[in-house]
Amino acid sequence: MAVSWVDLGARFFAGWRSDWPPVESVTINQRVKSVRTLRQLFARGLGLRRGPAAMSRPQDDHATRLIEAALGDAAKVFRELPDPPPGYESELRRIRRDSELHAVSGSRHPYWSVNPKRAGYRFAAAHGVSHPELFGSFDSIDDVTYSELPDEFLLKPHNGSTNRGVFGLAGLEDDEGCFFDRLRGRVMPWSEVVAEYRAAADEGLVSAGLGAEELLRKPGDPEAIPDDFKIYCFFDRAVLGVQRDLRQTSDPSEWRFKLWSRDWVDLGPVNYRARYDHDLAAPVHGKELVEQAERLGRALALPAVRIDFYDTDRGAVFGEFTLTPGTPEQFRADIDRLLGCHAELARVRIEADEVSSGRHPYASG
């Protein structure tokens, strides 16, 4: 049975000797500037060092066999042509640069057509993937009349990030105009909701326009907001998932994270080290999350994209597409390289798919 890159990474990295210096102590800048550091990363990260020393440790030999089993000829290419080293962080920089080059060329990266949340919902629905039920779209918070909405609803800006301007509101039966905000874990009068959203919009932190939609529920706990799972897709392959538990607070320092392989094996704190929680439970609908992420990834045909989902009491529900995730996207150096390899391979597979389907301009030649 084929072994995925992330799974083999989890098995290999778990076997590191404790007396080796930690890879996370090697910064990206050091990696770029130092050939010696590059060699260390190849040796410790994936066991892909060139020369006789490649087999100097049993862990390296084991990792090499796993990589060959997983990727075959592709693994050989990365081993024999390691420079410049693949990396997820450098892939994100390339994507951002491409977007800027599109702008100065008077064009727009095609991704941005599905970046707005409502456009993302339409794209998901067109490919048979569920999204939250929509209750209304508004030009500003002042246009929202809560009495015309269901007793429970989510307010979300059309454009924003880091949960700014998002309110998970459940009306209080004995207190008209007051809500329990399940994201913040406290009671808020409607006037406070309006004032807080307006302030965020005035500061440019969120769009003025917003929507009201279904307030999703966590499986087995109807009073809780479901965890969201950020699935890292490389074309049609889901490789890594980041789970986020908001813990009923809007303070990001209190949020907790866990990183998973596509088969829902705990990868350990390869990111979010200070906020990592091994005790977070695996998703109830894990298989569905991966299948739907890969369906959308194939439809998008991008080398790298993060697709956000919620694990809810009615199954996997799409959240949004994120082409250029914000900080902190600084994975441990070995995982950064791992994801970078996936991105490079995905770019080639997309082109190969275009050729085999006859969509590539050179396909007929």
Strands 152-157 and 305-312, sheet pairing: unpaired
CA distances from 110 to 13, 88, 223 (A): 37, 21, 39
The DSSP line for 124-142 is HHHTT---PPEEEEESSGG
Question: d(Cα 8, Cα 65) in Å, to the nearest integer?
Answer: 10
Which structural domains are found in the chain, ordered by start?
Answer: 5-89 (no CATH), 97-114+224-356 (3.30.470.20), 133-213 (no CATH)
Q: Is 63 helix (H, G, I), strand (E, B) or coil?
A: helix
In a structure prediction context, what are the per-residue pLDDT tens digits for the chain, which is 365 residues long? 444 444 444 443 343 333 333 333 434 344 334 334 333 333 333 333 333 333 334 434 433 454 455 556 777 777 777 777 788 988 998 888 888 888 888 888 778 889 888 899 999 999 999 999 999 999 999 999 999 999 999 999 988 778 889 999 999 988 888 999 999 989 999 999 999 999 999 999 999 999 999 999 999 998 889 999 999 999 999 999 999 998 888 888 899 999 999 899 999 998 888 899 999 999 999 999 999 999 999 999 999 999 999 999 999 999 999 888 876 578 888 888 888 888 999 999 999 888 888 887 776 65
Question: d(Cα 248, Cα 245) in Å, to the nearest integer?
Answer: 8
Closest alpha carbon to 319 in 83, 89, 160, 99? 160
Strands 152-157 and 210-213, sheet pairing: antiparallel
Please report the sign of the dihedral spanned by the C-alpha atoms of residue 154, residue 155, residue 158, residue 162.
negative
Q: What are phi and psi of 309, to 5 degrees?
A: -130, 165
Token pair 């905000």 is found at: 181
pLDDT, residue 31, reads: 37
Q: Rounded to 5 degrees, what angle do the CA atoms 9, 10, 16 make? A: 85
Q: Is 298 helix (H, G, I), strand (E, B) or coil?
A: helix
pLDDT, residue 252, reads: 85
Closest alpha carbon to 311 in 289, 326, 338? 289
Question: d(Cα 13, Cα 167) in Å, to the nearest integer?
Answer: 39
Question: d(Cα 326, Cα 147) in Å, to the nearest integer?
Answer: 36
User: Which H or E element spans position 320?
Assistant: strand 315-322
pTM attached to this predicted model: 0.78
Give the end-to-end CA distance of the chain in Å, rounded to a whole number. 36
Q: Tell me which DSSP letter residue 276 carries.
A: B
In one-letter notation, the amino acid at residue 263 is: D
pLDDT, residue 176, reads: 85
The neighbouring-strand residues paired with 188 are: 179
Please say whether the beta carbons of 303 and 343 come within 8 A: yes
Please say whether the beta carbons of 243 and 229 come within 8 A: yes
Q: Rounded to 5 degrees, what angle do the CA atoms 312, 111, 32 make? A: 95
